[in-house]
Amino acid sequence: MSSDPSRSVSKFDDEDYPAFTMGRAAEMVGVAQPFLRSLEEAGLIVPERSSGGHRRYSRRQLRKAERARRLVDQGTPVSAACRIISLEDQLAEYTDENPSDGQEKGSSA
């Protein structure tokens, strides 16, 4: 075996590494497989595909799927849940990229 052990460890730490099959992902999130497919159709999560064409999900995608499941469990339609999560992600990206925007606006008053 000539695989680099440090590379294997980094896969365990990689939030975006597509490690989980659809069946395992559905089990972990607590949903049926069609629910995961509906999230893919809505564009919320786009799983990688194995060489055989099977979906593979990352931990980051499973967290989004779990958030969508919680919203749907509260009565939110799947499409609305996906939109909410997408907007939350956009807001998080914006605030990460511009952490001092709010402070600068407040200090210039």
Per-residue pLDDT reduced to its tens digit, 93-109: 998 888 765 555 444 54
Distance between CA atoms of 28 and 25, rounded to whole angstroms? 5
CATH number corresponding to 14-100+103-107: 1.10.1660.10
Mean pLDDT (the chain) is 87
Distance between CA atoms of 4 and 11, rounded to whole angstroms? 11
Query: Which residues share a beta bridge with 48?
Result: 56
pTM of structure: 0.76
**Residue 28 in this model has a pLDDT that exceeds 80:** yes
